[in-house]
């Protein structure tokens, strides 16, 4: 934890805002207190509580790997009162954050293994932090395969950097695969014509079906809409992945971030989990043991 009191908010300045889609923006933040900057550390998969004074707060996953002290990126979808207020902010404005919270992805455990990242829609945001961390410490990881499912080209997040990986990722031993749903999407169709083995129409599970995936020395990491998990896990287990080789983040369930409100409690008397404290990252084995987790 970056501060002694986990409920203490920290002021952050918005240093850049990038419009990604019609409903998502990427916010570049920098902490304003020099004494906190040196103490602020986060891991891929952790999240923050982001607040606008007088409006409220919302849990948001960090979407980049830590590079510069006191700086971070948040991809925020406009879906409610708090996120609407955040979307109205501009460069130079301030907001408040507390955290980081949660366990994050076990990047140390996954070293010397191949990584298979599978995301749908906004689920790519927390997985981008995993990807960036693995690229930052590239020699610590094997082949990185990214499978990203989107509705259409215009809804694709981090478009420029992912299209670059789509075309040039082999230089970094990275395979980027894209699935799109809209049959009228001409831009994704052009990508499919360019590399039919890397881009195809359908759900993200289509990529798993078409690719040659082996569980040998590989960890799978999943994030996306709740309905996606069941089908992705089924495809992976049919290919020999064990429940402990599959990690997923349940960040959609979170509320207060510190286990006080009870909003994210799941399970039964035999196995109760607080998603914000015990997660938000869990293995598929955790999901099998905890009723209602997945």
Domain harbouring 265, CATH code: 2.10.240.10
pLDDT digits (tens, 9 = 90+) for 218-260: 999 999 998 999 999 999 999 999 999 999 998 776 777 777 7
Residue 121 pLDDT level (bands cut at 50, 70, 90): very high
Determine, yes or no, domain membership for 66: yes
- Segment 194-199 mean pLDDT: 95
Say yes or no: 273 and 239 in one domain: no
Give 40's DSSP letter. Answer: -
Say yes or no: 24 and 84 in one domain: yes
**pLDDT exceeds 80 at position 7:** no
Residue 4 pLDDT level (bands cut at 50, 70, 90): low
Domain that residue 272 falls in = 250-294
CA–CA distance, 77 with 245 (Å, rounded to integer): 30
State residue 2's pLDDT score.
45
Determine, yes or no, domain membership for 62: yes
CA–CA distance, 31 with 8 (Å, rounded to integer): 14
Residue at a domain's end among 101, 135, 168: 101
Determine, yes or no, domain membership for 145: yes
Say yes or no: 94 and 121 in one domain: no
For 256, the token pair is: 């207060």
Determine, yes or no, domain membership for 4: no
Total residues found in the chain within this entry: 294
State residue 213's pLDDT score.
86
Residues 223, 147 contacting (CB under 8 angstroms): no
Residue 67 β-bridge partners? none
CA–CA distance, 55 with 62 (Å, rounded to integer): 21
Q: Name the residue among 258, 259, 264 with its Cα closest to residue 8.
A: 258
Give 139's DSSP letter. Answer: G
Say yes or no: 259 and 201 in one domain: no
For 251, the token pair is: 């960040």
Say yes or no: 244 and 254 in one domain: no
Residue 275 pLDDT level (bands cut at 50, 70, 90): confident
Say yes or no: 244 and 285 in one domain: no
Say yes or no: 281 and 182 in one domain: no
Q: Rg for the chain (alpha carbons), in Å? A: 19
State residue 266's pLDDT score.
83
Determine, yes or no, domain membership for 212: yes
pLDDT digits (tens, 9 = 90+) for 154-186: 999 999 999 999 999 999 999 999 999 999 999
Say yes or no: 235 and 270 in one domain: no
Q: Name the residue among 18, 49, 263 with its Cα closest to residue 157.
A: 18
CA–CA distance, 99 with 49 (Å, rounded to integer): 7
Which has more confidence, 293 or 40?
A: 40
Determine, yes or no, domain membership for 109: no
**pLDDT exceeds 50 at position 132:** yes
- Segment 257-279 mean pLDDT: 79
State residue 3's pLDDT score.
45
- Segment 78-92 mean pLDDT: 96
Say yes or no: 161 and 70 in one domain: no
Say yes or no: 124 and 209 in one domain: yes
Burial of 294: CB neighbours in 10 Å, binned 0-12, 13-18, 19+: middle
Alpha helices in the chain (DSSP H): 34-37, 81-87, 124-136, 159-168, 186-194, 204-210, 226-238, 275-278, 284-289
CATH number at residue 152: 3.40.50.80
pTM of the model: 0.93
CATH number at residue 52: 2.40.30.10
Write 236-240 long-range contacts (CB < 8 A, 24+).
236/208, 237/284, 239/208, 239/213, 239/214, 239/215, 240/214, 240/215
> Alpha carbon of 254 to those of 58, 273, 277, 279: distances in Å?
9, 12, 10, 10
For 114, the token pair is: 């191949």
Residues 247, 105 contacting (CB under 8 angstroms): yes
Q: Name the residue among 104, 102, 117 with its Cα closest to residue 221.
A: 117
Say yes or no: 139 and 227 in one domain: yes
Query: Per the structure, how many domains does the chain have?
Result: 3
Strands annotated E in the chain: 10-19, 24-31, 47-52, 56-61, 71-77, 94-101, 114-120, 144-150, 174-180, 199-201, 218-223, 246-249, 265-268, 271-274, 281-283
Determine, yes or no, domain membership for 107: no
Determine, yes or no, domain membership for 5: no
For 91, the token pair is: 């460069």
């Amino acid at each position: 934890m970056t501060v002694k009191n986990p409920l203490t908010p920290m002021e952050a300045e918005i240093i850049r805002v990038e419009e990604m889609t019609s409903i998502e923006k990427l916010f570049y933040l920098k902490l304003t207190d020099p004494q906190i900057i040196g103490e602020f550390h986060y891991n891929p998969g952790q999240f923050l509580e982001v607040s606008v004074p007088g409006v409220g707060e919302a849990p948001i996953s960090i979407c980049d790997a830590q590079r510069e002290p006191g700086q971070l990126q948040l991809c925020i979808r406009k879906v409610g009162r708090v996120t609407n207020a955040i979307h109205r902010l501009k460069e130079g404005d301030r907001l408040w954050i507390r955290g980081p919270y949660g366990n994050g992805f076990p990047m140390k455990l996954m070293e010397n293994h191949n990584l298979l990242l599978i995301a749908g829609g906004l689920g790519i945001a927390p997985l981008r932090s995993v990807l960036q961390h693995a690229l930052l410490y590239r020699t610590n990881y094997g082949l990185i395969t990214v499978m990203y499912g989107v509705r259409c080209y215009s809804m694709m997040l981090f478009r420029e950097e992912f299209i670059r990986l789509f075309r040039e990722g082999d230089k970094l031993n990275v395979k980027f695969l894209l699935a799109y749903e809209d049959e009228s999407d001409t831009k994704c169709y052009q990508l499919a014509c360019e590399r039919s083995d890397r881009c195809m129409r359908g759900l993200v599970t289509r990529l798993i079906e078409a690719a040659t995936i082996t569980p040998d020395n590989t960890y799978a990491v999943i994030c996306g809409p709740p309905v996606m998990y069941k089908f992705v896990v089924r495809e992976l287990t049919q290919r020999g992945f064990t429940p402990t080789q599959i990690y997923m983040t349940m960040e959609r369930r979170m509320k207060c971030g510190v286990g006080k409100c009870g909003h994210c409690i799941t399970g039964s008397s035999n196995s109760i989990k607080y998603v914000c404290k015990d997660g938000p990252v869990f293995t598929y084995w955790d999901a099998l043991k905890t009723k209602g987790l997945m």
